[in-house]
Amino acid sequence: MKILVANLGSTSFKYRLFDMETETQLARGGIDRIGQPGAESSCSVEIGSHKSERTQVVPDHASAVQICLEQLTDSETGCISSVEEVAAIGFKAVFAGKLSGVRKVDNELLEMMDELSDVAPAHNPPYVKAMRELQAAFPEMPLVAALETGFHESIPQANRLYAVPFEWQEKYSIQRWGFHGASHRFIGQRTAELLGRDDLKIVSCHLGGSSSLCAQKGGQSMATTMGMTPQTGLPQNNRVGDFDPFALPLLMRKSGKSLEELLSELGKSGGLLGLSGGLSSDIRDLEEAAGNNHEGAQRALDVYVANIRHYIGAYMAVLEGIDALVFTGGIGENSQYIRQHVCAGFDWAGLKLDESINQTARDEGSLTAAESKVQIWIVPTNEELVVARQTESLITK
């Protein structure tokens, strides 16, 4: 069985094709600038050793999928003989409230995602639009949404509820939903394979443009940093992270800005970008600037690291111990600076990083010092494979 996994943006479409018999990736590709007036899209594909790229106007996501299928079935360079070989398209969807888990894409799901677009404004609108386009263009092909919140359904109420009137939770689903579910699920499964145990207490650190931590016990989520929305938890690249809502009336009064304007600033000009004084939201830029004594860059790095360390300590308490600390995501896999400073001073918990290995480590592997009682690893995530597995499971039931 072959599953196509789609990762959508408002003007982009990235995909991977998996052969589920061997769980191997057959192809990957991407198309950008979809639906942009007067703009040509870059349509790239990688199938085995063959790589190609061309430009053309792509009016919508349905057209992008059609181009993708043409690439995959090309008589000379393709990896499948016909579109019929694709059993389903799986989507790494973000938020649909109580319609969580893994679900067939239908009108009920799309209406709920549309209704909750203000919770995930950067994610839900492009997914809803694209899914509707694909329903119309490929009515016979199953579309499956693997909601990021699904992995966190195991979180106990004590770690899940806000201290708000309980009827808000019952009527409006106001609670900590958590996100990055596919990534944290993969990290839990892969770390269990690497260490040969299925009862591990793991803190998985998905650190990238969007960051979150998850406390896992025996492969189940017990707590996670993101809450009701992906704007919460750790400072993100340009999103605020945790913030006291009672500051908003003061900001409205002092700045003269509306609630909508302030929320937009918190979602677009906050996080690392805001902390650095507008310098950059990219850790690589911040590390370089901090090395040249840029005060704002150092401030952003310090706050980011402090927040990660805060949650690691908290999750040690949630789990009543820790067996493994795992780094993943673009920052987690590539920034030796962040890993070093996050792990510093945890000797009291039996957690010690091997500094020499950390300096050059990038691929999957252990960073654990010989005297450390806690395993420290880099594990590159594979969210698309998780979505492919979930999609296969649903359509073969």
**Amino acid found at 127:** Y
Maximum alpha-carbon separation in the chain: 64
333 is in an annotated binding site: yes
Q: How far apart are CA 10 and CA 264, in angstroms?
A: 17
User: Has 237 been labeled as part of a binding site?
Assistant: no
- Is 383 one of the annotated binding-site residues? yes
**Is 14 labelled as part of a ligand binding site?**
yes
Report d(CA 269, CA 185) in Å as an integer. Answer: 30
DSSP element (H, E) containing 45: strand 41-47
User: Is 331 labelled as part of a ligand binding site?
Assistant: yes
330 annotated as belonging to a binding site for a ligand: yes
* DSSP per-residue codes, 171-236: HH--S-----HHHHHHHHHHHHHHHT-SS-EEEEEE-SSS-EEEEEETTEEEEES--SSTTSSS--
Flag whether 358 is marked binding: no
101 annotated ligand-binding residue: no
Q: Are 186 and 218 in contact (CB under 8 A)?
A: no
CB atoms within 10 A of CB 98: 9
Angle at 87 between CA 84 and CA 93, to 5 degrees: 130
Residue 51 annotated in ligand binding: no
334 annotated to a ligand binding site: yes
> Which of these, 323, 376, 373, 97, lies nearest to 216 by C-alpha position?
323
CA 7 to CA 92: how far, in whole Å?
6
Residues of the binding site for ATP: 14, 282-284, 330-334
Residues of the binding site: 7, 14, 282-284, 330-334, 383
Residues of the binding site for Mg(2+): 7, 383
